[in-house]
Amino acid sequence: MGRDVPALVFTRDDRRRYRKKMQRSLDAFAQMLREARFDIERPQVGLEIELNLVDATGEPAMRSTEVLEAIADPAWSTELGRFNLEINIPPRRLTAGGPGDWEQEVRDALNHAEERAAAVGAHLIMIGILPTLRQSHVDENALSEDPRYRLLNEQVFAARGEDLRIAIDGVERLRTYAETITPEAACTSTQYHLQVSPEAFAPYWNAAQLIAGVQVALAANSPFLFGKELWRESRIPLFEQATDTRAEELKVQGVRPRVWFGEGWITSVFDLFEENVRYFPALLPLCEDEDPLEVLEGGDIPELPELTLHNGTIYRWNRPVYAVVHGKPHLRVENRVLPAGPSVADVAANGAFYYGLVRALAEQERPVWTRMSFSAAEDNLHAAARHGIDALLYWPGMGEVPATELVLRRLLPLAHEGLERSGMDAAWREPLLGIIEQRCVSGRNGAVWQSEMYHAIEDASYIDHHEALRRMTQRYMEYMHLNVPVHTWPLD
């Protein structure tokens, strides 16, 4: 969905042509995989962070256009809502620079953007769901001015044929309807990219799916939505429901959702792109002039624009990415399960844990996913989203155990091992993974701090719910800017 798209109406001929073009693109992709045409010499990692905009009081600020103009940096872009922005940190080798180099690069970029945003009356906050967001903030007027989002909104509702229903039962109960997909803008995430070879893609994707629940349990940071306390990571069920093109009858029939954990463990990256074509009708059937097979026959590399655009409208928690950079194609796993924030230190620690753990798991002689059902991994994700760091998760050889015990006993040593194989020495690993360890020991993450801080403010001040959420949000921003890990944040 990073492409600019025009505002238009699609015809039946558009959809027929698009389907044929998608099949031709799949054939070209399969040929490229057979002929080993992919760039694997210097694999890199990448990072995207979605942020919310607030005013000086912590309330949503619909100022994305003005803030982007003030930042004036192509690394920053619009997101779905006018109270969102996204930064794309340049790709790099995992061990480039010294300890803390990547973290400092992110901090410098965010501090610069915050300074520019403040000049136009807005501030940046990294958080899974903005606690002060009300349902009245996510109407059609909150949609980004970028035409691609309005077109996507039209196509989702054309496919669905009725309003979106959002229903989440957590600490409190939420039942509401939405006339646009703008509630999706409430979900802001951190996305870790990992470039892999075609041969390594399947084990790395399987490993990422395997640990999705563990990641969310450790890093949950979205306990509030529309003034209600719901799941520890309410972003997961909200995103699943806010982009659902299926009417109730289609759900009963087993039609796959567009926000999707997946069909099963894979043996090739081709499986995922083929599933995209097989299960999901196009939301944006835009055809380009490129003939991918002719491009290959001419000795060049096709961009596969239809295949990549379609892939961008299917929201897997671990998404395959095909891209061509400087004339060389490559593949990436895009890990999308984690919320934004709370601090850059936490984001760096979460990244280190992810990159180290997936490498260790992907390179095991007897992979864990051969002993674990795919549905168990999906159940882990939802258990983690509901209960956060207190979740019970299933793991082969251990059964159902507390997430913190699983990490401390089994997964943290593997993360160290994977990072060591990547060339990261102990002096660099220990501070990063030490944050993960202390999060487990203390049982505290962003969701726990938000909930406890909110209740402490409400109980001490005898104020209404929204005012307590607003004050908590302001405290959150203060500690976020100190860049200390969230498990150390005080409740005062």
- Residues 340-353: tens digit of each pLDDT: 999 999 999 999 99
pTM: 0.95
Whether residue 2 has pLDDT greater than 60:
no
What pLDDT is attached to residue 1? Answer: 47
- List 178's β-bridge partners, or say none: 164
**Six token digits for residue 131:** 């606690």
What pLDDT is attached to residue 279? Answer: 94
| Helix/strand/coil for 306 | helix
Using one digit for the tens of pLDDT, what is the confidence trace for 413-442?
999 999 999 999 999 999 999 999 999 999
Distances (CA, A) of 52 to 21, 114, 339, 382, 447: 37, 11, 12, 24, 17
What pLDDT is attached to residue 208? Answer: 98
Whether residue 78 has pLDDT greater than 60:
yes
Using one digit for the tens of pLDDT, what is the confidence trace for 201-235?
999 999 999 999 999 999 999 999 999 999 999 99
| Helix/strand/coil for 377 | helix
- Mean pLDDT in residue range 331-336: 97
DSSP state of 116: H
- Mean pLDDT in residue range 311-337: 95
- The number of angstroms, rounded, from the C-alpha of 213 to the middle of its chain's C-alpha atoms is 13
Outline where 327-406 has alpha helix (H): 344-362, 374-387, 403-406
| pLDDT confidence band for 6 (50 / 70 / 90) | low
What pLDDT is attached to residue 147? Answer: 84
| pLDDT confidence band for 326 (50 / 70 / 90) | confident
Phi, psi of 51 (to 5 degrees): -130, 160
Whether residue 59 has pLDDT greater than 70:
yes
- Mean pLDDT in residue range 82-93: 95
What pLDDT is attached to residue 434? Answer: 98
Distances (CA, A) of 55 to 61, 99, 481: 5, 34, 16
Phi, psi of 88 (to 5 degrees): -110, 105
Provide the residue count of the chain. Answer: 492
Whether residue 5 has pLDDT greater than 70:
no
| pLDDT confidence band for 10 (50 / 70 / 90) | confident
SS3 breakdown of the chain: % helix, strand, coil, rounded to 5?
50, 15, 35
What pLDDT is attached to residue 443? Answer: 98
- Least confident span in 6-10, 400-404, 428-432, 483-487: 6-10
Residues near 430 by beta carbon (within 8 Å), at least 6 away in sequence:
none
- Mean pLDDT in residue range 163-186: 94
**Strand 392-395, strand 224-225: pairing:** unpaired
Whether residue 75 has pLDDT greater than 50:
yes
Percent of the chain with pLDDT over 90: 82
What pLDDT is attached to residue 37? Answer: 82
> Residue 473 and residue 464: Cα distance in Å, rounded?
14
Contact between 53 and 124 under an 8 Å Cβ cutoff? The reply is yes
> Residue 406 and residue 380: Cα distance in Å, rounded?
12
DSSP state of 257: P
Specify the amino acid at residue 207.
Answer: A
- Mean pLDDT in residue range 447-459: 96
- List 76's β-bridge partners, or say none: 87
Residues near 31 by beta carbon (within 8 Å), at least 6 away in sequence:
293, 296
Distances (CA, A) of 154 to 7, 61, 140, 157, 281: 10, 24, 11, 5, 15
Percent of the chain with pLDDT over 70: 98
What does pLDDT average to over the chain? 94
What pLDDT is attached to residue 7? Answer: 47
Whether residue 374 has pLDDT greater than 90:
yes
| pLDDT confidence band for 385 (50 / 70 / 90) | very high
What pLDDT is attached to residue 487? Answer: 98
- Mean pLDDT in residue range 299-306: 95
- Mean pLDDT in residue range 33-39: 87
What pLDDT is attached to residue 3? Answer: 53
> Residue 318 and residue 306: Cα distance in Å, rounded?
20
| pLDDT confidence band for 57 (50 / 70 / 90) | very high
Cα atoms found within 13 Å of the Cα of residue 454, Cβ hemisphere only: 21
